[in-house]
Copies of this chain bind each other. A is one copy, B any other.
């Protein structure tokens, strides 16, 4: 069992299980609680009425989801669904007060946590200045590669994260591949020349 700052929230609490694709919470609904991910990975995303979605984060075990709207006491700004099988602990207001009382330092950790969300969202806004290829380059550089140095991701997923179409992701990655900066494979991708990508990202627009 993973232990971290948030474990006091989860200790001794019942967990609920979610199957892949199952909804955890829905955008625009009231936020009565937030969640601690005991295991599995989750997709948090904003969706449009037309069905397009924009992935904000893909949090894993040990992370919290849904705290921002919870503290804001406003409808959720994003939806969350399970990507893999998940175990979750839900935290509601009475429970949170209990834990804050017993572990005052948690409030500070929560401040830092929310500040991190602000940073992530700011990066999304910031990247609106960039054209599609640089958005993708930035995204690749921000990902932490697996132990073998490769990333597990589909073009669709990248597109939904940086806000461009699947087609464009294919085109740009094909281009990066031809230049020798990355090597692409089925549902995977390896960065070969980090520096070249960084240099490319740094070039100011003509």
Name A61-106 residues within 8 Å CB distance of B.
67-74, 77-78, 104
Which of A9-17, A121-129, A144-152 lies at the binding interface?
Answer: A121-129
* CB nearest to A52 among chain B residues: B129
Indicate if A107 sits at the interface (CB-CB under 8 A). Answer: yes
Copies in the complex: 2
Known contacts A107-B108, A111-B114, A112-B73: A119-B50 contact under CB 8 Å: no
| B68 close to A129 (CB less than 8 A) | no
Q: Which residues of B contact A50 (CB under 8 A)?
A: 129, 204-205
Q: Which residues of B contact A125 (CB under 8 A)?
A: 46, 54, 56, 121, 124-125
Known contacts A50-B205, A54-B129, A163-B128: A118-B122 contact under CB 8 Å: no
Q: Which residues of B contact A117 (CB under 8 A)?
A: 114, 118
Name A114-173 residues within 8 Å CB distance of B.
114-119, 121-126, 128-130, 163
| B110 close to A111 (CB less than 8 A) | yes
Secondary structure dominating the interface of A: helix
Q: Give Cα A67–Cα B114 distance, bound, in whole angstroms.
A: 11
| A72 close to B110 (CB less than 8 A) | no
| A119 close to B54 (CB less than 8 A) | no
Q: Which residues of B contact A104 (CB under 8 A)?
A: 104
A175 to chain B, nearest CB (A): 22
Q: Which residues of B contact A107 (CB under 8 A)?
A: 107-108, 111
Indicate if A4 sits at the interface (CB-CB under 8 A). Answer: no
Q: Report which A residues bind B (CB closer than 8 A).
A: 46, 48-50, 52, 54, 56, 67-74, 77-78, 104, 107-108, 110-112, 114-119, 121-126, 128-130, 163, 204-205
Nearest first, the 8 A-B pairs at minimum CB distance are A121-B121, A71-B115, A72-B115, A48-B129, A77-B122, A68-B118, A114-B114, A107-B107
